[in-house]
Amino acid sequence: MPIYDYECSDCGENFEALVLRGGAPPACPSCQSLNLKQQISLFAVDSASTRQSHLSAARRKSAKVARDKSIAEHEQAMRHHDD
């Protein structure tokens, strides 16, 4: 089932809508207008390998942030101890 991005021409609201084949066209959730422009949207790929890749990247980033925080805390403690 495709999900499309829309922009309402009347109020400017941007939203996503699930559009079924042969179903009624979506209406703006803010003003209920049918005067919509379909936006170009990116496709999403979801697989076990892409999830694992994103998880690994997030863990590396988290480890770097934790390491930087630990170094900053150590430096702060050393400055406080020297005073």
Give the residue extent of every domain in the chain: 3-39, 46-83
Phi, psi of 58 (to 5 degrees): -65, -40
Residue 68: name the closest of 80, 79, 60, 56 by CA.
Answer: 60
pTM for this prediction: 0.48
Q: If you average pLDDT over every residue of the chain, what do you get? A: 89
**pLDDT score of 72 more than 70:** yes
Distance separating alpha carbons of residues 28 and 5, to the nearest angstrom: 11
pLDDT tens per residue, range 23-62? 888 999 999 999 999 998 777 667 888 888 889 999 999 9
pLDDT at res. 73: 94
Classify residue 59 by its DSSP letter.
Answer: H
pLDDT at res. 83: 67
